[in-house]
Chains A and B, each alone.
Chain A
Amino acid sequence: MSENLTLVQAVRDGLRDEMAEDDDVLVMGEDVGKNGGVFRATEGLYDEFGGERVIDTPLAESGIIGTAIGMAAYGLKPVPEIQFSGFMYPGFDQIVSHMARLRTRSRGRYTCPMVLRAPMGGGIRAPEHHSESKEAFYVHEAGLKVAMPSTPHDAKGMLISAIRSPDPVIFLEPKKIYRAFREEVPDDTYEVPLGEAAVRREGTDVSVFTWGAMTRPTIEAAKNLDGEIDVEVVDLRTLSPLDIDTVVESFKKTGRAAIVHEAPQTAGVGAEVTATIQEEALLYQEAPVERITGFDVPFPLAALEDYYLPEPERIESGIRDAFDF
């Protein structure tokens, strides 16, 4: 059986199912308990599982993350929520100094099976700090997995995989598309493996690599170019570890690539994909890799965010550049 769910409903569904299945799974964060989460991602969990497993924390990101690390080190499977990914920074030290290193530091005696969930990205007219897209910070830290689903089906499946993973996962949820569309999501538990990209649209002229909320405008741009350029769209889904095989296979087919991400361009994950492409498939390359990204500025105020975020027209233009070279 399945139901049509939005992405945030699918996240909730995944949390609920895993909490029902495994008593060690617990949820913690600001407003997640009695309020059911500011985006309703944890709605009803408090009523179902009680305050011991659905914990309302103080406004203290470092504490939230640090406490979760401690819980994880000692056998629980915490799924802390940071209300907006921009607020992970106060807890950054916990993430990179401890969450990422527990296993190697202890030579495997202590592991950190936690999933740090955070809504990320722009497009909701929010004030400062609430539209961050800094997945690159966590991709750069060895010892962390970084996941970013773009569909309800993937959200539930990847969250379940993340919760079941023995190692820490940063689970970034693109809030712009929290409710943008519904998709059939199975009622039971299922896994969508981390580290696997998904080819959303097959093509032969240009490979476009993208993730998160940018997947939809990229697919729209590809559709607009139908008949002119045959565009392949690959949704990376997991940014670390990168699905190099799928990326390279796609690039070898087309020889031309574009990358679309809302994070700023410099040192964004797009740079990593570009480097990988030229390492693995230089001889197939027929054009420079086009990066269509956010600009190297702090995320702008709400009134200007439409100029900042890549939209179908800008994406089409970038794809054309790759194709025409």
Chain B
Amino acid sequence: MVVGDVSTGTEVAVVGAGPGGYVAAIRAGQLGLDVTLVEKDAYGGTCLNYGCIPSKAMITATDVAHDAGDAEEMGVYADPEVDVGEMVEWKDSVVDQLTGGVEKLCKANGVNLIEGRAEFAGNDKLRVVHGGDGQGSETITYEHCIVATGSKPIEVPGFEFDGEHVIDSRQALAMEEYPESMVVVGAGYIGMEISTVLAKLGVDVTVVEMLDEALVGYEDDLTRPVKQRAEELGIDFEFGLAADSWEESGDGVVLTAEDEDGETTDFETEKVLVAVGRQPVTDTLNLDAVGLEPNDDGRLATDDQARTDAENVFAIGDVAPGPMLAHKASKEGEVAAEVVAGEPAALDYQAVPAAVFTDPEIATVGLTADAAEEQGFEPAVGKFPFNASGRALTTGESDGFVRVVADEESGFILGAQIVGPEASELIAELALAVEMGATLEDVASTIHTHPTLAEAVKEASEHALGHAIHTLNR
């Protein structure tokens, strides 16, 4: 029994050990700051434990299974057997390896780790409530605080997650047994990625989407190949329908969806996955204690140094404005740590790349041609289809293209969109180009290894300049 509350003093308190928080903590430690990282659940946050990593692991595993059974063209005949339980176990081992790695890296950089849920207890003070054991709570006094509490799936009214009939993405990726059928509410990237995984595992998937298209926000010519392939995999799309209610029925459920005219459609299915988006987590923080309030969209307003309105409190990742992407959170984490350490850091990146790990993958960075025009540029656009790429043909994956958008007059690359094999990897080169202020000339005149998919990037740039070699110039 300890009487009294001996508070722990620290220079930087980081709340949340996801890709925003743990990166901020490690960077702060590197810069010589005394840093304390508080995490209530697992190191690595949603990304490592329930999101990015598990989903990519499952995507890869299911791809392997699917591709193996679909390679007759290449003279490979197989009918793979999938033990989902083992697949999930393997996925878990990957996650464990990574979260263990995060812990080690933190400790190696002098980060003090505290387990518990943190909330503000007044200016410069956090109260950390320890879970389970009845260990009570402790107080941390900080000089700076970085809030990185991330986001959680949006719960649709009437579709509260029960882990059995109505599940979220996290639960979907943890299933050791897959149902025969599933309705996926929401055709955003999470819905689409998981649908693809499910479909490749043989689940009968119906995607119910309120809007008229899947992956709204990406240009049509990017989403078209994805939708096509999804349909080929047996995924049914129902657009313009909003999930309204559900009720148990036998072993499964009946989901009722409504269109804009009020007409309903029923879907019989075993489980419902709701993936309509994510909302920032701020209600656990007791923000009142530091005089902060979230915006209408639930985010904490920040400036270009990730500072909130409260002196010495920073917000990064999904709780801060901007795309809810792990790499954006990491960048903000690095910047926040550097700002605390007195370095002239700022969030002045030119573009955040994004990737959708569907089949085929989509990846974008910077401006589309339309956006470029709106901003007053005269866009020069170059496009190179993968079916003209030697390497793409050798992989059997030749749907899609690379498109590069540049400023006609100066040649500065403003953005790029890719759909096709390894889009998520290929986008990196173009993200660098946008960030560096590279021109089409710069990319086009750089020798790219042959035969690689990356050559498509070079060719697309040349195409914009009017002298692509492996495709016809307009």
Interface size on B, residues (CB 8 A): 12
Interface residues of B in 1-52 (CB under 8 A from A): 1-9, 34
A180 to B34 Cα, complex, angstroms: 11
**CB of B206 closer than 8 Å to a CB of A:** no
Interface residues of B in 86-125 (CB under 8 A from A): 110
**CB of A16 closer than 8 Å to a CB of B:** no
Are B34 and A178 closer than 8 Å at their CB atoms? no
Residues of B within 8 A of A74 (CB): none
**CB of A20 closer than 8 Å to a CB of B:** no
**CB of A307 closer than 8 Å to a CB of B:** no
Instruction: Tell me the smallest distance from the CB of B129 to a CB of chain A, in Å.
Output: 16
Are A176 and B6 closer than 8 Å at their CB atoms? yes
**CB of A301 closer than 8 Å to a CB of B:** no
Are B8 and A125 closer than 8 Å at their CB atoms? no
Interface residues of A in 159-189 (CB under 8 A from B): 175-182
Contact of A179 among B1, B3, B4, B9 (CB under 8 A): B9
Interface size on A, residues (CB 8 A): 20
Residues of A within 8 A of B330 (CB): none
User: Given the known A-B contacts A4-B110, A180-B141, are A125 and B34 also in contact in the complex, defined by CB atoms under 8 Å?
Assistant: no
Contact of B8 among A39, A126, A179 (CB under 8 A): A179
Are A38 and B9 closer than 8 Å at their CB atoms? no
A126 to B3 Cα, complex, angstroms: 6
Smallest CB gap from A180: residue in B: B9
User: Given the known A-B contacts A4-B110, A180-B141, A181-B34, are A130 and B3 also in contact in the complex, defined by CB atoms under 8 Å?
Assistant: yes
Contact of B7 among A4, A84, A126, A179 (CB under 8 A): A179
Residues of B within 8 A of A130 (CB): 3-4
Are A124 and B4 closer than 8 Å at their CB atoms? yes
Chain B residues engaging chain A, CB cutoff 8 angstroms: 1-9, 34, 110, 141
User: 18 A-B Cβ contacts within 8 A?
Assistant: A8-B6, A38-B1, A84-B3, A124-B4, A124-B5, A124-B6, A130-B3, A131-B4, A175-B4, A177-B9, A179-B6, A179-B9, A180-B7, A180-B9, A180-B141, A181-B9, A181-B34, A182-B34
Instruction: Tell me the smallest distance from the CB of B137 to a CB of chain A, in Å.
Output: 12
Are B3 and A178 closer than 8 Å at their CB atoms? no
User: Given the known A-B contacts A180-B7, A180-B8, A180-B9, are A39 and B34 also in contact in the complex, defined by CB atoms under 8 Å?
Assistant: no
Residues of B within 8 A of A125 (CB): 4-5
Residues of B within 8 A of A4 (CB): 34, 110
Residues of A within 8 A of B1 (CB): 38
Residues of A within 8 A of B8 (CB): 6, 179-180
**Further 7 A-B residue pairs, CB within 8 A, beyond A4-B110, A38-B2, A179-B7:** A4-B34, A39-B2, A130-B3, A175-B4, A175-B6, A180-B7, A182-B34
**CB of A75 closer than 8 Å to a CB of B:** no
Residues of B within 8 A of A50 (CB): none
**CB of A90 closer than 8 Å to a CB of B:** no
Smallest CB gap from A124: residue in B: B4
Residues of A within 8 A of B4 (CB): 124-127, 130-131, 175
Residues of B within 8 A of A131 (CB): 4
- Residues 29-60 of A, flagged 1 when their CB comes within 8 A of B and 0 if not, give 00000000011000000000000000000000
Q: Which 4 A-B pairs have the closest CB atoms?
A: A126-B4, A124-B4, A180-B9, A179-B8
Instruction: Tell me the smallest distance from the CB of A213 to a CB of chain B, in Å.
Output: 11
Residues of B within 8 A of A39 (CB): 2, 6
A126 to B141 Cα, complex, angstroms: 17
Smallest CB gap from B141: residue in A: A180
Residues of B within 8 A of A127 (CB): 3-4
Residues of B within 8 A of A6 (CB): 8
A136 to B462 Cα, complex, angstroms: 85
Smallest CB gap from A178: residue in B: B6
- Residues 1-41 of A, flagged 1 when their CB comes within 8 A of B and 0 if not, give 00010101000000000000000000000000000001100
Instruction: Tell me the smallest distance from the CB of B166 to a CB of chain A, in Å.
Output: 44
Are B110 and A38 closer than 8 Å at their CB atoms? no
A130 to B7 Cα, complex, angstroms: 16
Smallest CB gap from B8: residue in A: A179
Smallest CB gap from A176: residue in B: B6
Instruction: Tell me the smallest distance from the CB of A308 to a CB of chain B, in Å.
Output: 15
Are A38 and B7 closer than 8 Å at their CB atoms? no
Residues of A within 8 A of B2 (CB): 38-39
Smallest CB gap from A216: residue in B: B9
A151 to B348 Cα, complex, angstroms: 41
